[in-house]
Amino acid sequence: MPRLAHVEIMDPLLIKCFAQLGVLMRTIIQKDTNPATLDDVTTLLQSWTVSPTDLIRIKSVELLHTTLKTYYDHVTFTVEV
């Protein structure tokens, strides 16, 4: 993931907030692993990815990565006959 030098010295409270938001995203996807849930979560994060603030863009992409990875790890494909 891209990182900026000043991102590494973030406020500890902000670091904790993003970590907890990542846990929330993973929990939402794990409890309801379907395309509609993934769409809802990514739609919410999408507005952050175009923020003029570097920190918000970087963190939103990290959260998006966490969300997509969790979905990938928990999705099951079935075939109906």
Q: For the chain, what are the domain ranges?
A: 9-74
Residue 2 has pLDDT above 70, yes or no: no
What is the helix (H) or strand (E) element at residue 22, kind and residue range? Answer: helix 12-31
CA-CA distance, 51 to 71, in Å (whole number)? 24
pLDDT digits (tens, 9 = 90+) for 9-66: 667 888 888 899 999 999 999 999 999 999 999 999 998 899 898 888 989 999 999 9
User: Closest Cα to residue 58, out of 14, 13, 12, 28?
Assistant: 14
Query: What's residue 1's pLDDT?
Result: 47
The pTM is what?
0.78
Query: What's residue 37's pLDDT?
Result: 93
Structure confidence at residue 3 as a pLDDT band (50, 70, 90): low
